[in-house]
A and B are shown apart, each in its own frame.
Chain A
């Protein structure tokens, strides 16, 4: 099977898994509203960075601390309001609205009559209707102004504002009422009386619901700025006639309480540092939003969910194509863009999209995708490990069972693969060496034999034999070395070392005798057990003996012996010879190194002492050389067998 479609399939599957999870995250957050506060946070940031034009056409006549000081304690007599109304009306405003309840009669009937007369005279006064919850029973009540006033007023409008569950005023209902959504906002009534009915009027009627509260046309306010942004003027100054009449001409005038501790104050998105906004200013903001068409509506739940899901899936467009860091950056950027877009939407298109679902989708996309990738990487590692384990049966670190493998951490797996890789590199080096050996050391004697045969077809075998023998010896040495390099201590058996040494000495006996050399055996009578490989140790000893035979002067004795210490067993081969220099010693045990004599010798492959060292190390021991008193002693030490 071609591997490419398989991989593509795998990737699609991975994308599918991540997409499902993202849809789940986006939907659950978006529908459950658990993270609504994050939505609020985004919305509030939007309110702050997205200020509307400087407010104009409206002025607040404020019952502030100064007015209280000059006029007296609250509540004031309704005659005072009647006087104010006369002054204001005389200045020619477009409309006057009151944000104070007149739902009960005064103690003095003349006061009420004065105000009714003033309202009726002016003809452009809109009075508030409060829909409130009575303190005890939770019963909702509509509190209109007293009947005379309501009749005299040009309009009645609600002053109620929606508070979100975090207690902050962000939105209003265009219509609200008990039993039927009958009452418009104060702001809407102000506009209507001024002759500028707002465009987005509520169409259709919400179904009546018995005596319950019915709301219709939920809209989000666009605040003009922090508290105090809307121009206001002290009630007392107006009453005393200190404000020029032009100030009010053609404007909408809202009368309300701003003195701390008297009226209603609402926390708003724009009221920083816990500075709440007076209710009258909130009404003024509602008026501004309504007049300028800046009230925004939230997306319906269905559209909200669909959009959240789609936006949450967007990161999957690039994640499969990018490396981790660019992917992370792209996802971060995406989340920022999403957040910014949702803060700007109400200002630009009067639409509110709660972004949390999409935002958390975007935030989760990277970790989820990375998780799948890590899983894929782990699977890949495991597969590699499996393969490597079959190629390299033991590399020391490998766990023996799949159970053990499951317990391994990610880092361990990586370290394990690295170790295996190192071994592969090592094997590759060995392969190169083998090629070099075959192409040079092995081929050259064979080539010379071939050449000789071609030049003199009937040449004597005695002339050919040495070169062919040399090639054969070399090939054998090389194979032995390869076998030694693959020795495994775990597979070694207990063996009797003295007989191995005897056998090696027997083997070299003939060669030594030809040179008039004797082999003295300085060995213990009893058996000496070590854990090892019989063939390798024998070959290793033979190499040391052949080395001694080659380098010792003819007719001199060679000795082989064995010493036992507490923790190691050391066997050695000694011959007479010139002392070796330090540099020579350091090169002796290297691969393809030859002594001066060895270079001239036809049979030396330069592998002899390297083989000795390899075998010693594979047995957990060492090999070395000592020179003293005209003698050279090569030794190999092996760890004692533990019983």
Chain B
């Protein structure tokens, strides 16, 4: 797995490079946006980790250039940003980033997010027919969820949404993405509908830390289903 890493702070870059190499990734570090854009468009990379603030070209500029050149073959991108206000995060997601991490970076979070975005390309099929998370069992073939052996009653849309979440654990799913995937046949869907469905899933499937889950809303613009690490 080859990762392009754009960061102008050499010291911070050294630490992160070390983490990634230890985790078995091959890392190429760039301290200039232009160089990074050139490299990624010419050589194959599996994922990108961009810092937002780089002297010559900002991370968002690099991403915009790459999207024009690479289009479908664009590798997944994670942004590292020192700013985490709603506008900043929304901007990063709007330019097409797959996820973002707020600085200072933490090793487990970085590795988890990286893993999640790397699972994206064509790996969905690799999701097993059934998933077991303690008391929660998911049968993808029969589209059924059961908790403590009891089948949870879900509507058609809720089932679609829940299955999509469990196929993308740890990945940030924007509200627009969810609308495209789950409500593709329904025109003019209200974004509130997504929020209501997500909120219902949280209640029905008990996606709470007590049950080992966290369903994180990114300022209401997107959602990420995460495993709660030290659950009971």
Residues of A within 8 A of B (CB): 472, 483, 493-496, 498-500, 502-503, 505-506, 509-510, 513, 525, 527, 529, 533-535
A496 touches B86 (CB 8 A): no
Partner of B228, one of A472, A496, A509: A509
Partner of B199, one of A472, A496, A505: A496
B216 touches A506 (CB 8 A): yes
B86 touches A533 (CB 8 A): yes
Min CB distance B226 to A, Å, is 9
The docked-state distance in angstroms from the alpha carbon of A533 to that of B219 is 8
B199 touches A483 (CB 8 A): no
Closest residue on chain B to residue A509 by CB atoms: B209
CB-CB under 8 A for A499 and B202, given A506-B208, A510-B230, A527-B196: yes
Q: How many residues of B contact A (CB 8 A)?
A: 23
Q: Please list 18 pairs of residues, one from A and one from B, whose beta carbons are closer than 8 Å in the complex, sorted by A's number.
A: A496-B192, A496-B196, A496-B199, A498-B199, A502-B202, A502-B215, A503-B215, A509-B208, A509-B228, A513-B230, A513-B232, A525-B203, A527-B192, A527-B196, A534-B217, A534-B219, A534-B220, A535-B219
A510 touches B86 (CB 8 A): no
Closest residue on chain A to residue B104 by CB atoms: A472
Closest residue on chain A to residue B202 by CB atoms: A502
Closest residue on chain A to residue B226 by CB atoms: A506
Min CB distance A485 to B, Å, is 14
Known A500-B217, A503-B217, A513-B232; further 20 A-B contacts with Cβ < 8 A:
A472-B104, A493-B220, A495-B220, A496-B192, A496-B220, A498-B199, A499-B195, A502-B202, A503-B215, A506-B228, A509-B208, A510-B228, A513-B230, A527-B192, A527-B196, A533-B86, A534-B217, A534-B220, A535-B85, A535-B219
- CB contacts (< 8 Å) of B199 on chain A: these are 496, 498-499, 502, 527
B202 touches A496 (CB 8 A): no
**Listed residue (A500, A502, A503) with the most chain B CB atoms within 10 angstroms of its CB:** A502
CB-CB under 8 A for A494 and B192, given A499-B202, A502-B208: yes
A527 touches B195 (CB 8 A): yes
A510 touches B209 (CB 8 A): yes
- Give the residues from 175 to 217 in chain B that come closer than 8 angstroms, CB to CB, to chain A: 192, 195-196, 198-200, 202-203, 208-210, 214-217
- CB contacts (< 8 Å) of A529 on chain B: these are 192
Closest residue on chain B to residue A498 by CB atoms: B199
- CB contacts (< 8 Å) of A509 on chain B: these are 208-210, 228
A506 touches B195 (CB 8 A): no
Min CB distance B92 to A, Å, is 15
B86 touches A535 (CB 8 A): yes
The docked-state distance in angstroms from the alpha carbon of A505 to that of B228 is 13
A506 touches B203 (CB 8 A): no
**Listed residue (B86, B202, B208, B209) with the most chain A CB atoms within 10 angstroms of its CB:** B209
The docked-state distance in angstroms from the alpha carbon of A483 to that of B192 is 26
- CB contacts (< 8 Å) of B192 on chain A: these are 494, 496, 527, 529
Min CB distance B18 to A, Å, is 16
The docked-state distance in angstroms from the alpha carbon of A472 to that of B192 is 35
- CB contacts (< 8 Å) of B230 on chain A: these are 510, 513
Closest residue on chain A to residue B197 by CB atoms: A527
- CB contacts (< 8 Å) of A535 on chain B: these are 85-86, 219
B195 touches A534 (CB 8 A): no
Leading 5 A-B pairs by shortest Cβ distance = A509-B209, A534-B219, A496-B195, A506-B214, A499-B199
Closest residue on chain A to residue B191 by CB atoms: A494
- CB contacts (< 8 Å) of B198 on chain A: these are 499
- CB contacts (< 8 Å) of B195 on chain A: these are 495-496, 499, 527
The docked-state distance in angstroms from the alpha carbon of A513 to that of B217 is 22
Closest residue on chain A to residue B199 by CB atoms: A499
- Give the residues from 53 to 99 in chain B that come closer than 8 angstroms, CB to CB, to chain A: 85-86
The docked-state distance in angstroms from the alpha carbon of A527 to that of B192 is 9
Min CB distance B222 to A, Å, is 12
- CB contacts (< 8 Å) of B85 on chain A: these are 483, 535
Min CB distance B36 to A, Å, is 29
- CB contacts (< 8 Å) of B232 on chain A: these are 513
- CB contacts (< 8 Å) of A527 on chain B: these are 192, 195-196, 199
- CB contacts (< 8 Å) of B209 on chain A: these are 506, 509-510, 513
- CB contacts (< 8 Å) of A493 on chain B: these are 220
The docked-state distance in angstroms from the alpha carbon of A589 to that of B214 is 31
The docked-state distance in angstroms from the alpha carbon of A498 to that of B199 is 8
Min CB distance A619 to B, Å, is 15
The docked-state distance in angstroms from the alpha carbon of A527 to that of B215 is 16
The docked-state distance in angstroms from the alpha carbon of A496 to that of B203 is 14
Closest residue on chain A to residue B89 by CB atoms: A535
The docked-state distance in angstroms from the alpha carbon of A495 to that of B199 is 12
- CB contacts (< 8 Å) of B208 on chain A: these are 502, 505-506, 509
The docked-state distance in angstroms from the alpha carbon of A513 to that of B208 is 13
The docked-state distance in angstroms from the alpha carbon of A58 to that of B11 is 120
The docked-state distance in angstroms from the alpha carbon of A509 to that of B215 is 13
Min CB distance A615 to B, Å, is 14
- CB contacts (< 8 Å) of A498 on chain B: these are 199
- CB contacts (< 8 Å) of A496 on chain B: these are 192, 195-196, 199, 220
The docked-state distance in angstroms from the alpha carbon of A601 to that of B127 is 46
- CB contacts (< 8 Å) of B202 on chain A: these are 499, 502
- CB contacts (< 8 Å) of A503 on chain B: these are 215-217
The docked-state distance in angstroms from the alpha carbon of A498 to that of B203 is 11
Min CB distance B206 to A, Å, is 11
Min CB distance B220 to A, Å, is 5
The docked-state distance in angstroms from the alpha carbon of A513 to that of B104 is 25
Partner of A499, one of B86, B104, B217, B228: B217
- CB contacts (< 8 Å) of A505 on chain B: these are 208
Min CB distance A77 to B, Å, is 119
- CB contacts (< 8 Å) of B217 on chain A: these are 499-500, 503, 534
Closest residue on chain B to residue A535 by CB atoms: B86
The docked-state distance in angstroms from the alpha carbon of A506 to that of B198 is 15
The docked-state distance in angstroms from the alpha carbon of A388 to that of B229 is 50
- CB contacts (< 8 Å) of B86 on chain A: these are 533-535
- CB contacts (< 8 Å) of B215 on chain A: these are 502-503, 506
The docked-state distance in angstroms from the alpha carbon of A57 to that of B55 is 109
Min CB distance A540 to B, Å, is 14
Closest residue on chain A to residue B198 by CB atoms: A499
Min CB distance A525 to B, Å, is 6
- CB contacts (< 8 Å) of A533 on chain B: these are 86
The docked-state distance in angstroms from the alpha carbon of A529 to that of B208 is 21
The docked-state distance in angstroms from the alpha carbon of A494 to that of B230 is 33
The docked-state distance in angstroms from the alpha carbon of A506 to that of B219 is 15
The docked-state distance in angstroms from the alpha carbon of A506 to that of B226 is 11
**Listed residue (A506, A513, A529) with the most chain B CB atoms within 10 angstroms of its CB:** A506
The docked-state distance in angstroms from the alpha carbon of A150 to that of B2 is 141
The docked-state distance in angstroms from the alpha carbon of A23 to that of B214 is 84
Closest residue on chain A to residue B221 by CB atoms: A534
Closest residue on chain A to residue B84 by CB atoms: A535
The docked-state distance in angstroms from the alpha carbon of A599 to that of B200 is 41
Min CB distance A450 to B, Å, is 18
- CB contacts (< 8 Å) of B220 on chain A: these are 493, 495-496, 534
- CB contacts (< 8 Å) of B219 on chain A: these are 534-535
The docked-state distance in angstroms from the alpha carbon of A513 to that of B210 is 10
Min CB distance A557 to B, Å, is 13
The docked-state distance in angstroms from the alpha carbon of A505 to that of B203 is 14
Min CB distance B195 to A, Å, is 5
**Listed residue (A509, A510, A525) with the most chain B CB atoms within 10 angstroms of its CB:** A509
Closest residue on chain B to residue A525 by CB atoms: B203
The docked-state distance in angstroms from the alpha carbon of A498 to that of B195 is 10
Closest residue on chain B to residue A476 by CB atoms: B84
- CB contacts (< 8 Å) of B203 on chain A: these are 525
The docked-state distance in angstroms from the alpha carbon of A511 to that of B210 is 13
The docked-state distance in angstroms from the alpha carbon of A554 to that of B77 is 43
Min CB distance A634 to B, Å, is 22
